[in-house]
Each structure stands twice: as structure tokens, then as C-alpha cells.
Amino acid sequence: MGKPTGFMDYARQDKTAEQPLERIKHFNEFYTPLSKEEQEIQGARCMACGVPFCQSGQNLMGMASGCPLHNLVPEWNDLIYNGNWEEAYYRLAKTNNFPEFTARVCPALCENACTCGLNEDPVATKSNEYAIIENAYETGYAKARPPKVRTGKKIAVIGSGPAGLTVADMLNSRGHSVTVFEREDKPGGLLRYGIPNMKLEKQYIDRKIKIMEEEGIEFRVSCNVGKDVKPAQLLKDYDRVVLACGASNPRDIKAPGREAEGIYFAVDFLKSTTKALWSNNMELKDGDYISAKGKHVIVIGGGDTGNDCVGTSIRHGAKSVLQLEMMPKAPDERAENNPWPEWPRICKTDYGQQEAIAVFGKDPRVYTTTVKEFVKDKKGKLCKAVLVKLEPKKDEKTGRTVMTEIAGSEYTVPADLVLIAAGFLGSEDYVTKAFGVEVDGRTNVKTASGKYSTNVKNVFTAGDMHRGQSLVVWAIREGREAAREVDESLMGYTNLSVQ
């Protein structure tokens, strides 16, 4: 503990965000980090608790509290306070394969479980992590380190999202030869095409992929396993196969008029913008993407993806944006039945909503509301949406509380573009059926509890395809644990560490 009174001596400082009306003019990341000296002071605020909840990653009341990767947070906070940035990087890299991603897109479970945050502002752990990894790239600490010895074993990883990349990184470091198969034109999966550029600029993915290639990992893109490549061939050519294809089966909205032109899944909308930006030097050209310009936009879904659709639509130049949320608004402060260190179930106004408020003068979110009908014009194009209010009621058969329509509460709003961000139902069945792996009732690939091997010999799984839609940090955790299990199945033992 570098400074025992640090949490009392220094106030929390965090990276500063560009003002909403300025940042909507571009698609770049919009945070300005602290200086190195300022960041070292933030490291001093860490209390080095006897029980550091920040790194616990435990499940409390059905939600994670603290970092699922068990990052050595107090250790690297102390190291940067003392100016030992190199050792801080090595400590961070012991538990996190991709801090350059989590430092940008993770919701900071560590900070919400910070003991300092019980009475004061929590330690700026996410910013500290960002500073450590970016300094490591600037100084060369984060360079390629190819394994010195190869085992002769070959592994195929299907999917290059955070789980697949983690599996590949871990198994390659062990000396196995790893090939990653990706159906898109570039590696990254969710990181590249599911997360907008303003949250994660794509050159940072390319920066890491280049290092992984230098370390010996092969990436085969535009290769759709289950269609372009047969599983039988992979199982013949490789000693083990790991399925990390994500939970990419979007949940649809079954309402009359769904076939109208102008209704898209959120992931297709976000992906089209990202591809258009990177093919046109970060400029959008009409006709190259699904455009919200001049349109009345309705976003169905109140989560992170819905917020990303709001922010992206505003950058396109939408005429209006409405975001529908089926559930009631969460409280602005912790309720008594949601104490620290549980994840705080409170209302969060994210960057997209902040921008909507700045542009349109009001929060775009409408709670306890859904679409009852999509209305199309004579040409089949979406022109309106009939919305209906909802209320919670207990289902007499199941005893569960469900959101039910309120009779007579319907009203109509203009709508030219609807983006469905209602979550995902699980894995796509053309992959699971091709490999013959069992799935559970939610179409996630089934394994024994705490395990990653499937019912098919030599086939493993990890990430959202295994656990369902989740966070990048959980995908990394799953990738680390799956890699350890694969390694043990190949070698009879493993020295890969997951904590």
C-alpha cells in the first residue's frame, strides 16, 4: 500500500468526456485520459483492503460483484502509484489477456464493488487499467512473445470474439499451434462489429491481432465453419476444436407489420456503420450503410446495444430517436434491498442517452412500453408504429411476474426506422447442428457444470455460445478456463493459470 491515507488525501479524478454536441460530429473515442502523474495519484486512492471485493468476481443475488478475471487490482494500483508501470503491466497481464478492450468497454464491475466506494467515490480502477495498457504499448512492454517450444498439437478455434481470442492466446502461449476461423472479413467478432467505433476504435483490435500473429497464431477470415468448412474435416486436421461463435441469434419482435421495410436488428445496423466507416476512411457515404439520417428512429431495447443504436443514429443525423424499454425505470440510487457490494441496480444514463438529451432536449427512453403494431405505407415501407403501455402482473400458472399490455393505452408515433435491440437467444443452430453438439433450453451449448467439453469428442466451447449473452470480461474468463481444460486434455496436465 503506497499511501495509507491516499483515499482521504485525494479526490477521484477520471478521464474527461468530450461534450455531447461536439462528439456527435465524429465516430472516434471521445475520452481524454489523465496525465501519467495524475493517474499515479489515482493509484494512491486504493485502500489495499483486507478483503478486496474489487477482484472477487463472486455472484451476489444473481449478479456479478467484482472482476470475474480476479484482476490483481490493489497490486497494480500500488505499483502505478510508486511509478513502477512496467511491473504493473505484467501484473495486469497475468489475469487479463486483453486489457486494451476491457479498459474501454467493461462496465467496471471492479469499481462498483470497491470498498472505497462504500462511503466515498470508488477508485478509478478502469482508468488506471487503461493507463497501464496504453503505456505498455507506448514503451514496448506489450510486444509479441512467441513461445520458445512447440508441442506439435493443433487447435482450431471457431470465432474470433473475445472468448475465441482468449482461447487462442492462452493455448498458443502454451506452445500449441492455433488457427482461428472467422466468418467475417476481419477478426474481432463482437468487438469489431457489435461495439461502435466511438466505444472501441478498431485499430486497437488490429494492433493486438498483429501481435498475436507475430506470436504464431493464424487467422483465417471470411471462412464460415459449418458452411464453407465441414466439421468432419476440422476434427480430422486438428487435435481439438473450440466453438466460440457467440450468442448471435437475435431476439425478434413478433408484431403485425414486422415485414415492413425499415426494420432491422441492431447488430446489422451497427455492423453496417462500422464497415462503411472503415471502407471509406472514417466517412459515411450514402448507400453504403443502414442510414438513420432524417428519419424518425425507434430503438427497441434499453440495454447497452440499444444505447449504442441511439448514439449511432444521432451521429447519422436522425430526425428523432425514441428508445423503448419494457421494464419500469430503475431507481436513481441504490434501494435498501440492493446493498453494496452487490451490483447497483440503478438507472444509468449512458453516452447515447446523454447525446439525445443534448440534441432533442429530453431523455429518449420510454419505460414500460413496447410495439403493438408496425404500420407500413402503400409501398411497404415503415411509416408509423403503434405503441402500448405495459404493467407487471403475476402469471397464475407459473407464478412469475410478466409485463402485460394495459387495455386502451395504445398510441401511434411516426417511425421510418426501427432497430431491434432486444437481446440474443443463443447460438446459431447451423453451427451446433453441423458439429452435433447438444444445446440447452436457451440454445447455449451444453456442458457439465464448470466444464467446457461438449458431448462430441475433442470439441469444446466457451463464451456467449456457452453461457449466453454476457460481458466481454466474462468471455475472457470463459476463454481462459476453456483453454486450461483443452490443454489438460491434450497434455495430461496444465500449467495455464486462470487467476
pLDDT digits (tens, 9 = 90+) for 301-339: 999 999 999 999 999 999 999 999 999 999 999 999 999
CA distance linking residue 153 with residue 318, whole number of Å: 52
Instruction: Note whether 6-139 and 263-420 share their fold.
Output: no
pLDDT for the residue numbered 2: 64
Contact 330, 345 (CB under 8 A): yes
CA distance linking residue 178 with residue 164, whole number of Å: 11
pLDDT for the residue numbered 103: 98
Taking the model in full, what pTM does it have? 0.96
Q: Which residue in 208, 234, 200, 215 sits closest to 102, CA to CA?
A: 200
Task: Output the CATH code of domain 154-248+425-491.
Answer: 3.50.50.60
Q: Which residue in 177, 178, 180 sits closest to 158, CA to CA?
A: 180
Q: What percent of the chain has pLDDT over 70?
A: 99
Average pLDDT over residues 199-223: 98
Per domain, the residue ranges of the chain are 6-139, 154-248+425-491, 263-420
CA distance linking residue 75 with residue 43, whole number of Å: 10
Q: How confident is the model at residue 1 (pLDDT cuts 50, 70, 90)?
A: low
CA distance linking residue 91 with residue 425, whole number of Å: 36
Write the single-letter amino acid at 316: H
Three-class DSSP category at 460? strand
Average pLDDT over residues 231-250: 96
Superfamily of chain region 6-139: Alpha-helical ferredoxin (1.10.1060.10)
Select the CATH number that applies to the domain covering 263-420 from these four: 3.50.50.60, 3.40.50.980, 1.10.1740.10, 3.40.190.10.
3.50.50.60
